[in-house]
Every structure is written in C-alpha cells, then in structure tokens.
Amino acid sequence: MKNIAYLKIGIIGGGQLGKMMALEAKKLGFFVSVLDPTPGCPASQVGCEQIVADFYDAQKIRELVTKSDISTYEIEHINTNVLKDLAKEGYTVHPSPEVLEIIKDKSLQKKMLIRNNIPTARWKMVEKNLVSEIADFGLPAVQKSCRGGYDGRGVLVLRTEEDIKGALKCDSFLEELVDIDRELAVMVARSTRGEIKWYPVVEMAFDERANICDTVIAPARVDPKICQTASEIAVSCVEALGGTGIFGIEMFLTKAGKVLVNEIAPRPHNSGHYTIEACATSQFEQHIRAIAGLPLGSAELFFPAVMVNILGEEGYEGRPLYEGIEDVLAIPGASVHIYGKKTTKPFRKMGHVTIVDRDINRALERAEIAKRKLKVKSG
C-alpha cells in the first residue's frame, strides 16, 4: 500500500453518512473526494472535494474512482455497471460491486439469505397478477419493492383485499407480516484482511407516521441469549456476502423469540450512529479502517446510549430552522449532530442526538426530552 498518510478515498454520496465517513478519514490524514448531485452537500462542508453529478452518471463515477486509491459509497442506489467495469480494470471498490448488486435488490438479498440458511421471513416473488399471488400467499402480508426503497418507501402492508387497490406498481415480492416483538440491528465490520468485529445488538423504534427509524437503544433490552443469536446471524450475513466494510444488519425479533433478518445495508447505518460517542471506535472510523486494510478497532460499548433522529417537522419545507438546540445541549450526556442539509422536508433526517448515561432508563428519559425540544422547521 502507498504511504497511508496520502491515501485518497472516493465516496459516492455526500450526505450525512459521507460527511461522517469523511471526518474519520481526515483524522488519518486521508484526502477525500465525494460525488453527489447536490452542490454544497454535507460532505463538501468538511473540506471534501466534490464532483457534482448524478449517482448513475457513469463518466463522473469513473472520474471519482480513477482519481482515488480506494472508493466506497454511502448509498445503494448507484450505477453498479460502471463500478464492475472499474473493478475489472483494477480499481479498488469496497464493498465490491457484486455485493452491492445483491443488496440493492431486496429479492436478491432474500435469495442469498435462503441459500445460506440464514433465517428470514417467508416470502414470494410477485411474478403474475398480484391478486392471484396474494390468494396463494395469504393475507396479511407486506409488499416490498425489489429496488429503490428506503426509509419506509417501497413498503406496503396489505391487511385486506381492499388494500390491494393501492399496491406498489413495480417489481416486488410478498413477505409474511411478522408478529414483531421489537426490531433489532447489529453493525458488523469485515476488513480486507478478513478480520471481523461486531457491535452490540441494539433495538430500534420507528415513527409510525412515516415508518422511519426514530430511536435507537444501545444495548438492546433483550435476553443475552437473543443477543448472542442476533450477533451470530449478523456475522453470518457478512461472511456469506464476503463483503468488506461496515454493514448494518436489521432484524425482527418475533413474539415467539425467533430472530429473522429483515434487510442488510452495505455501509454505515442509522442504527450505528450511537457508536460515535458510546463506543471505542465509531462505525465510520471502522468502515475506513476496514476498506483501507488497517486493523479494526475495538467495538466495545463504553456507556449505554440512546440515539434519536432529528426529523423535519410536518408542514415545513425549505431552508431549515432549528429550534431548541441550546436546550438539548444543556442535557447531561447529550451530543447534537446537525447534518448541514440545505432543505428540510417532512420526516427528512436532518440530524441526530445521542445521549450517553450509565443508566439506560435515564438516557431514555433524556432522549425523550431532546425529541420534544429540538424541532426542525423552515423559514
């Protein structure tokens, strides 16, 4: 490897994940370039060179990758064909384009899980008429788009035949509507050396209005045996993929006590933001270490933590105005992260707050205060 202090990292995507990745890369003296369609994207605000281009612009992606020693991404919905060509030409992309192709198509994710005997909810591709497929599969069920869905988009719960009228008009599959006790997640890192580290199991709560992650509690308040099972399953996912970098494994814990894999993200994940303040090595630093072939850091949790997303308020769109930041900063153990997005929209992720405390219940109480106090409006 060339002199580590002059390593050039290219990131496809310059949102909040790219910004926090870049900050960790810069700690190691790396030069960072990002590709993002929004001029002045969050990552550019921390001194990254930006190529302003669409995520499917093959020419501009080639420009980014060829000027970088290592390339990565913070978003799945990008041009994998040009990345595969670049990898064949000898350029380094982590996680690999082949891994990305599996993950960006949720039906391929499902097939990979089944092929590797990894537990997941019962499912069936929609290959014919949706009505006949549902008659065979049964209701209630969840219809999921194969591609393009995130943060609650591309998911539709079908409880009755009447719901079929609003069905998704895209390539999709049906999934069993699981009787969920709670949703869990584990961040797993795998380096170019094959070294693997995983973080504690966390639980996620969702804002039901937009089906978007609202709160993350670390560690999860579940039986240690459940945590062990979830950790082992999460590691098996990354091993099956053969991926390099950090991966977020989202899971369902059923009321019967089973752990089922829901989805996999090949990048830093919302459920891992708490690691910045609460763990020995943040998920973002771990990702940079993993793709650069460096030793992985400790994933030890120093303190219990609760992270809450700062979402754009309903009824507001435009230049963001943040209310209550001073009140939240006065809360013991609170850290505020503002992403620097130029426009707020209802339920858009605009930042997050992490509360660390030796008492998880006290952290939860303070996190609820932070949610009430900090509002993103517009003006």
Domains and CATH numbers, the chain: 4-93 (3.40.50.20), 122-176 (3.30.1490.20), 180-378 (3.30.470.20)
Strand ranges, E, within 208-331: 212-218, 245-254, 259-265, 305-311, 320-323
pLDDT at res. 216: 98
Q: How distant is the alpha carbon of residue 292 from its chain centre? A: 20
Surface-to-core class of residue 67, CB atoms within 10 Å of its CB (0-12 exposed, 13-18 middle, 19+ buried): middle
Continuous segment of H or E residues that includes residue 337: strand 334-338
Structure tokens belonging to residue 289:
């270490």
148 φψ region: left (φ > 0), alpha (ψ -120 to 50), beta (else): left
pLDDT at res. 108: 97
Q: Which residues of the chain have pLDDT under 50?
A: 1
Instruction: For CA atoms 269, 275, 276, 282, give the dihedral sign.
Output: negative
CA dihedral 299, 121, 142, 146 (to 10 degrees): 70
Coil vs helix vs strand at 199 = coil
pLDDT at res. 5: 66
Query: pTM above the 0.75 mark?
Result: yes
DSSP 8-state class, residue 271: G
pLDDT at res. 282: 98
pLDDT at res. 267: 97
